[in-house]
Amino acid sequence: MRWPLLGMLCAAMLGMPACTSFTVLPGEIQIFDSDYPLSGGDLREIQRLAWSAGITKPLAHLQTYRADEVDVICGEYSARDTHLTCFTARRRHGHWFIDKSSIRTERSIRDDRFTVT
């Protein structure tokens, strides 16, 4: 009696993530925010904004210069030859948005001795 009930419970739990919405951020993000720290909610909102703008690459590098502005690089930042998508995100009235005019794609070539962008 226990095993069929346990099996149904496991099946129900496996089906649950398909109904819920959550954001998984990549494991390797370089964040430089010593003066203006970003919260986990900020990172999730910036990632969702990137996806809604059609940027499918994961967040790789974030640099804050002011409390309401962050420069973002998406893509495989440490890859040898890759295309990175860069943009500036700004916060207004507690919500982040992407400055559409700042979206650009750059090719980055890394060597053991130097980096060319």
| 79 close to 57: Cβ distance less than 8 angstroms | no
Mean pLDDT, range 83-93, rounded to an integer? 94
Contact 30, 61 (CB under 8 A): yes
Q: Are the C-beta atoms of residues 75 and 35 closer than 8 Å to each other?
A: no
Q: What is the pTM of this model?
A: 0.67
Q: Is the pLDDT of residue 54 over 80?
A: yes
Of the pLDDT bands very low, low, confident and very high (cuts 50, 70, 90), residue 113 is low
Q: Which of 83, 85, 90 is nearest to 108 (CA)?
A: 83
Residue 77 pLDDT more than 50? yes
- Kindly give the residue spans of alpha helices, DSSP state H, lying in the chain: 2-19, 40-52
Helix (H, G, I), strand (E, B) or coil at 79: coil
In this prediction, residue 114 carries a pLDDT of: 59
What are the pLDDT digits (tens) for 16-29? Answer: 333 333 344 455 77
In the block, residue with structure tokens 């507690």: 94
